[in-house]
Chain A
Amino acid sequence: MNRVLEAVGRHGRDRRRLLSILHEVQAGHPGNYLCPEDLAAAASALGMAVSEIRSIASFYTMFSFRPRGRHLVRVCESPPCHVMGATGVLEELRRVLGVREGETTADGMFTLEASSCLGLCGVAPAMMIDGESFGNLTPEGIRSVIDRFRARAEKERGAR
């Protein structure tokens, strides 16, 4: 609730700033998604209907209405990555994480998403975990990328 008021405070009660506000609200939610309470709070703060906000947010792939893991794994499945072997990479990710696209691992660590072009085609096939890019992926290398990321993320969590 507070994160909605903070974001609205930063951007103003201006419905044109809705996307920026939603970006911040979503990033501030521990579940990395737009929860119904936040949507309702944003609606009342901006003088909009909840349905209107849902209609707008659902248009954009970066917003989610379902809780997601702490880290978002986005695999590019656009043509340039496809011809360089993205299908095998995605299959291996499903196997290593034990989830399908749109699902979250049981420990709440990762959500797997298939994505349109990430602009990393020079190092195709590519993926992003949160804001970090990974390229020249091979199915064989996926497990070590995920393991290293998991180890680092757990260390950082421990440090906090």
Chain B
Amino acid sequence: MKRKVMAQVLVGIDADSVLAGARRFKTVLVGELARRSLAGAVEVSETGPVGPVGPGVSLVVYPRGEVYAGLEEPEIPLFVEEVLVKGRSWDRKLVPAGKAGRGPAPAPADSRRRQHYGRIVLENCGLIDPGDIHEYIGRDGYRALGEALSGSTPGGVIEKIEKAGLRGRGGAGFPTALKWRYTAAGQGEKVLICNADEGEPGTFKDRLIMEGDPHRVVEGMALAAFAIGARTGYIYIRGEYGLSLERLGKAVSDARSAGLLGRDIFGSGFDLDIELRLGAGSYVCGEETALINSMEGCRGEPRLKPPFPAESGFLGRPTCVNNVETLANVPPIVLRGPEWFRAFGTPGTPGTKVYTILGHVRRPGLVEVPMGTSLREIIFDYGGGVFPGDFKMAHLGGTAGDIMSREALDLPLAFETLQEAGHNLGSGAVLVMNESVGLPDFLACCLRFFRHESCGHCTPCRIGCRRLHESFVRLARGRGYEDELATIAGLAAGLKETAFCPMGQSVAAPIESALRYFRPELEAGVEPGRKRPRRRERGFRPAGMPGAGRT
């Protein structure tokens, strides 16, 4: 007779915990349970990332829903004894309720726009086994798709997304419904692409969504494809994301076997198949037209817009490119309605945002909070505060984002509020830095990244990033020319105005925000009286030619 399951242990498996030994931990735990004849009474399964609970192996134990973090292999017998045999809470490694971003958080001082807690995109992460389609279905998975296909129309789905006010979570914040409408109105066969080429440094939210709840992405894609009338969907995933590729690949093939992809889904006559495409290491491929070029087997350089992809994209077909997080928001909106969604976030940007908190914080990791949450709350409430040292600055939204000083800590983070303040939300990275980080050196590192990743298509970005990198290296050494800051500001403005694609234009963001908040520190890198050498016509006269070396 099968014994009744008394408890369930979910081991958080993601790229970070795997390298802390989570898979081996699970094996040893199962062994220990068998040794105590608890194999039938305690069920051990894998789940996705558990939340921002710190490094190491993390577990969720049901029925009490307790989260344990930072566990090590030698502690397993004690853990089993205390928690699973005696049924006590084991305070030593227990994460206090609310800290893991699940359950009600402590009541905030300003509850005006934050009546609602809980997660949307990550609601299943850390709760279900991402490899098991039944666990997703058991939590209302694929219900939105079933209801849409049987009782709604493509127009009906678009209308729900429009009323919900969903905006693209890739960084630009473009209204999703509008993109879908444009694509749906295009001529010929439509194509849907899920942009999983997450290359913005500091951003790994999409990886954790794909690792923790891959079926949500598949269902979101199915709904989007239904809305725009596409029969083919692609997931363009970056080459480094091995575990995401594995989990999404399994999710797509399981959905196909279950009849949730393929021909005549739910007997509605709607066909959809999803294919995975692997990137090969290029930052600019996160830009939608560059991504499309890459999918066609070309160099991943951006295309001139217009025509926009909605008109002519992949193979000249009307194409809609959506970010992973955007698509993950779609099933719950379709299922629970726009009103429910609008209860989260701000009027201009309803919903939640997934942030990755990193750098000098006590608890680096991933958190989902309502739009409008301030940097202060994210860093100090969820990230556990600055450690070591004191707060100096935060780089918001990845390398192509703004550098925020102390005075920007209380700005509500939403597309419209940040725009008003002259900032951008970006991709969701929050890189926290203490006073040990020198700004010129940090910017030199940012520009080294842009210089390397510039695709070379347009001159402002190809040459501008190189010159800017050189400037910041000089400033970091205290050897800046006396006109260095003016040159930097000019180049940044030039990039913003004239670079060919949004990637090149966004190089200006960290520079301009740094000039705005930290000008004195940059000025300190200038060597008084150091003049820029007079321009030589290098390159026009190869060495040895008459006139070479003369000014």
Q: List chain A positions with a Cβ less than 8 A from chain B.
A: 14-20, 22-23, 55-56, 59-63, 77-80, 82-84, 116-124, 128, 131-136
Contact = CB atoms under 8 A, between A and B. Distances in A.
Given A19-B278, A124-B358, A133 B15 contact: yes
Contacts of B365: 122
A118 B202 CA distance: 9
B446 A119 contact: no
Interface residues of B, number: 54
Contacts of B446: 79
Given A23-B280, A62-B239, A78-B202, 17 more contacts: A16-B295, A16-B296, A22-B280, A59-B282, A61-B280, A61-B281, A62-B280, A63-B280, A116-B449, A116-B452, A117-B200, A117-B203, A119-B15, A119-B198, A119-B238, A124-B359, A133-B19
A121 B281 contact: no
Interface in B441-458: 442, 445-446, 448-449, 452-453, 455
Interface of B: 15-16, 18-19, 55, 198-204, 207, 238-242, 277-283, 294-301, 356, 358-360, 364-366, 395, 399, 429, 431, 433, 437, 442, 445-446, 448-449, 452-453, 455
Contacts of B448: 77
B19 A135 contact: yes
A135 B240 contact: no
A80 B201 contact: yes
Contacts of A133: 15-16, 18-19
Contacts of A117: 199-203, 449
Contact of A60 (B15, B282, B437): B282
A122 B16 CA distance: 7
B207 A119 contact: yes
A55 B299 CA distance: 7
Contacts of B437: 83
A129 B504 CA distance: 31
Contacts of B296: 16
Which 8 A-B residue pairings sit nearest by Cβ, starting from the closest? A60-B280, A78-B201, A117-B201, A61-B281, A18-B297, A62-B281, A59-B299, A16-B297
B204 A131 contact: no
Nearest to B315: A16
Contacts of A131: 242
28 contacts: A17-B297, A19-B294, A22-B280, A59-B299, A59-B300, A59-B455, A60-B279, A60-B282, A62-B281, A78-B201, A78-B202, A79-B395, A79-B431, A79-B446, A80-B202, A83-B431, A116-B283, A116-B452, A117-B199, A117-B202, A119-B15, A119-B238, A120-B16, A122-B55, A122-B204, A122-B358, A122-B364, A131-B242
